Amino acid sequence: MKLMVIGLGQCGSRIGDEFVRLNRRAQKERHATIITGGYAVNTDQADLTGLRYIDSDYLHRILIGGRKTWGHGVGKVNEIGAELAREDGDKIIDAIKTAPRFYETHAFLLIAGAAGGTGSGAISVIAQMLKERYIGKQVYALVTLPFEHEEVSELRSVYNSATCLKSIYSVADGVFLADNQRYVRKDASMATNLQRINRFIVEPFYDLMCAGEITKYRHVGAKTLDAGDIMQSIEGWTVVGSGSTSLPPAFRFPWRLAKSHFREKGAESIRAIQAMDAALSELSLGCSPEDAGRALYLLAAPHNEMSMDIAKSLGDYLRELAENAVIRSGDYPREKGTVDVSILLSQLAFVQKVRDYYDRASAFAHTQKERIKETTGRLRDMEEAAKELPSLI
């Protein structure tokens, strides 16, 4: 599957940068192209400079709202982020339509951090622009949710997240959710932590996107997962995950293997199930699989680790967990010494975290309104007290 990736704001641009890195890796390791263009959009010039993989010309690193923010961001006010995207969105359209691989693009992927200003505000405006202009092309969003400490210390980040999620859900064809808090490793410094988190966020997309774009015959699966299958599996709230189990050393040298041994036969299925379990426990956001209306899994492993039995046991296992979902699947033969499973759960009917944002943001909006009313009243009181005094201007 080939995506055109547009990162918005600091968080979105950095994750977009990781996708471009992933594309280079796909070209090198698998001779496959999975990104038809990578763009970063921000109101903050310094953040655009800090990227590594996205081309550094002005068509790929796009500054919006320059006249209004002087290149210094919108300070977490996502209404301004949305307004600037409305004014300068054409810059993005102009840039993507000149991309040489534009017509190979299966879908757009817009990325942003929900709690900030620029990305949070711009993502739904740009999604709407793309939907109106490229009718029939899918527009997906990948939205990261704030860390717990941000939610506690700045109520504004909860409010931004809620308004961002509400708006993007109404316009995008699918919204991937990634919860920053799930990736936290307490021992690392913030900067390396963010980079690590970004790598974890993009990783589950790698096999999924590569599987249908393979050119080498021996890497083509019996049941190839192509862009159509993936797009059929994405609608509304979506989470992804990937898990892996390594093969015992003998498996890396298959000619040494006594495959027919009954114990080995059972171990094959167990390895695949273990990888699926790992994928489910590493989902980008905590949710219940039974709330999913669609699900998809991809098994990537050496040829001799993939059989009908294994495919069946994986399918049965996921069916038990996601009993209400239409399940699609694929396989992807590779030489690496691991068994990897990638999972996508979509059309989630309930997401606790999103629901909590909506509730808390509504309460926040209410208290803000009360506070403004109170402040206005007190200011009026003060003016009243000075009514009899002469003014010097």
Binding site for ligand GTP (CB under 6 A): 9-11, 14, 43-44, 73-76, 113, 115-120, 144, 146-147, 150, 180, 194, 197-198
Query: Whole-number minimum distance, CB 90 to ligand GTP, in Å?
Result: 20
Interaction partner, residue 80 (ligand GTP, Mg ion, none; CB < 5-8 Å by kind): none
Q: Which two tokens stand for residue 376?
A: 């206005």
Query: Whole-number minimum distance, CB 13 to ligand GTP, in Å?
Result: 8
Q: Which is nearer to ligand GTP, 120 or 238 (CB)?
A: 120
Binding segment toward Mg ion, per CB under 5 A, in 36-44, 241-249, 349-357, 372-380: 36-44
Q: Which is nearer to Mg ion, 201 or 227 (CB)?
A: 201
List all residues 6 or more positions away from 80 whose beta carbon is below 8 Å from its beta carbon: 65, 68, 69, 74, 117, 121
Q: Which is nearer to Mg ion, 71 or 293 (CB)?
A: 71
Pairing relationship of beta strands 236-246 and 61-63 according to DSSP bridges: unpaired
Query: Whole-number minimum distance, CB 70 to ligand GTP, in Å?
Result: 12
Secondary structure class of 164 (helix, strand, coil): helix
Residue written as tokens 């068509």? 59
Question: How wide is the angle at C-alpha 196 spanned by C-alphas 192 and 165, nearest 5°?
Answer: 110
Q: At what angle do helices 352-385 and 155-171 cross, to 10 degrees?
A: 120
Site map (CB under 5 A) of Mg ion, residues 39-58, x = contact: -----x--------------
Rounded-to-10 torsion of CA 123, 180, 274, 32: 40
- The Cα 33–Cα 17 span in angstroms is 15
Secondary structure class of 66 (helix, strand, coil): helix
- The Cα 292–Cα 393 span in angstroms is 65
Q: Which is nearer to Mg ion, 49 or 352 (CB)?
A: 49
In 212-342, which residue ranges form alpha helices assigned H by DSSP? 227-232, 262-281, 308-321
Q: Which is nearer to ligand GTP, 147 or 206 (CB)?
A: 147
Can you say how many angstroms the Cα of residue 170 is from the centroid of all Cα atoms in its chain?
17
List all residues 6 or more positions away from 340 whose beta carbon is below 8 Å from its beta carbon: 207, 242, 243, 244, 275, 299, 300, 301
Q: Which residue of this chain has its Cβ atom nearest to Mg ion in the complex?
A: 10
Q: Which is nearer to Mg ion, 149 or 216 (CB)?
A: 149
Query: Whole-number minimum distance, CB 377 to ligand GTP, in Å?
Result: 31
Which one among 2, 3, 8, 10 touches Mg ion, defined by CB under 5 A? 10
Interaction partner, residue 197 (Mg ion, ligand GTP, none; CB < 5-8 Å by kind): ligand GTP
Pairing relationship of beta strands 326-333 and 138-145 according to DSSP bridges: unpaired
φ, ψ (nearest 5 deg) of residue 52 = -115, -40
Q: Kindly list the distances between the CA atom of residue 133 and the CA atoms of 83, 293, 304, 371, in Å, as whole numbers in the listed order.
A: 19, 29, 46, 41
Q: Which is nearer to ligand GTP, 11 or 341 (CB)?
A: 11
Query: Whole-number minimum distance, CB 356 to Mg ion, in Å?
Result: 25
78 binds Mg ion (CB under 5 A): no
Q: Which is nearer to ligand GTP, 127 or 299 (CB)?
A: 127
Query: Whole-number minimum distance, CB 349 to Mg ion, in Å?
Result: 33
Interaction partner, residue 89 (ligand GTP, Mg ion, none; CB < 5-8 Å by kind): none
Rounded-to-10 torsion of CA 356, 164, 110, 46: -110
Query: Whole-number minimum distance, CB 113 to ligand GTP, in Å?
Result: 3
- CB-neighbour burial class of residue 220 (10 A; exposed 0-12, middle 13-18, buried 19+): middle
Residue written as tokens 């990897």? 340
Interaction partner, residue 284 (Mg ion, ligand GTP, none; CB < 5-8 Å by kind): none
Query: Whole-number minimum distance, CB 161 to ligand GTP, in Å?
Result: 8
Query: Whole-number minimum distance, CB 100 to ligand GTP, in Å?
Result: 28
Query: Whole-number minimum distance, CB 56 to ligand GTP, in Å?
Result: 18
Q: Which is nearer to Mg ion, 92 or 209 (CB)?
A: 92
Which one among 12, 65, 73, 113 touches Mg ion, defined by CB under 5 A? 73
Interaction partner, residue 75 (ligand GTP, Mg ion, none; CB < 5-8 Å by kind): ligand GTP
Which residues are near Mg ion by CB under 5 A? 10, 44, 73
